Amino acid sequence: GENVEQHPSTLSVQEGDSAVIKCTYSDSASNYFPWYKQELGKRPQLIIDIRSNVGEKKDQRIAVTLNKTAKHFSLHITETQPEDSAVYFCAASKLTGANNLFFGTGTRLTVIP
Amino acid sequence: NAGVMQNPRHLVRRRGQEARLRCSPMKGHSHVYWYRQLPEEGLKFMVYLQKENIIDESGMPKERFSAEFPKEGPSILRIQQVVRGDSAAYFCASSSTANTGELFFGEGSRLTVL
């Protein structure tokens, strides 16, 4: 099955700085890579996703890059704000048949005001 | 659109009792996924169901755990003879089809086994 690794496990940045979280996956058939944000005690919520037919996607301060050859993808948050503090999970799946998401172990991001 | 509804939000059981967790998917969604999250850990896939069918249960423990998604009513995750190691947050997610990508998560059911 798919194995997704994520690091770092914790990340602290000063407000206004950038944050980068990296993930690798094992199954070359995976073609969908979402990122979820989970605030303390809350549900995971999708913040951005990328499919294997593109290498980069951006949405305001958030961007994701994908390198299919190397089987890794990254989340970039620019101009971080205190409300960005949360746990971020990367995931991978195959959008054919079953859409089971396999999650990384999470990164706890703390933005220091 | 009410979103994915899970209940109970919190459940306390003693060792050996049964726990039943319910999930109503978003309106129009026929695909349901259950995930388990241990404290300070990630989300582990358990089972994927469509109406009246288990599609993938590769993440389910072999014993004591079962899931169903009947034609009428919510999906149920059932844990028999609970042990302390079952204490976790159990999240349900739904999607409209298998190929759209995004899963919408409920708020989770937090099971505590005394």
- What is d(CA B35, CA A102) in angstroms, rounded to the nearest whole number? 10
Q: How confident is the model at residue B100 (pLDDT cuts 50, 70, 90)?
A: low
- What is d(CA A88, CA A19) in angstroms, rounded to the nearest whole number? 11
Looking at residue A96, what is its pLDDT? 64
Q: How confident is the model at residue B42 (pLDDT cuts 50, 70, 90)?
A: confident
Interface contacts A/B by beta carbons within 8 Å: 66
Q: A37-60: per-residue pLDDT in tens? A: 999 889 999 999 998 877 899 999
A5 Cβ contact partners less than 8 Å away, ≥ 6 residues apart: A23, A24, A25, A104, A105
Contacts of B39 in chain A (CB under 8 A): none
Q: How confident is the model at residue B14 (pLDDT cuts 50, 70, 90)?
A: very high
Provide the residue-wise pLDDT of chain A in tens; the chain has 113 residues: 789 999 999 999 999 999 999 999 999 989 999 999 999 889 999 999 998 877 899 999 999 999 999 999 999 999 999 999 999 999 998 876 566 889 999 999 999 99
Q: Is the pLDDT of residue B101 over 80?
A: no
- Name the residue in chain A with its Cα closest to that of B104: A45
A53 touches chain B (CB under 8 A): no
Q: B31: burial class by Cβ within 10 Å (0-12, 13-18, 19+)?
A: buried
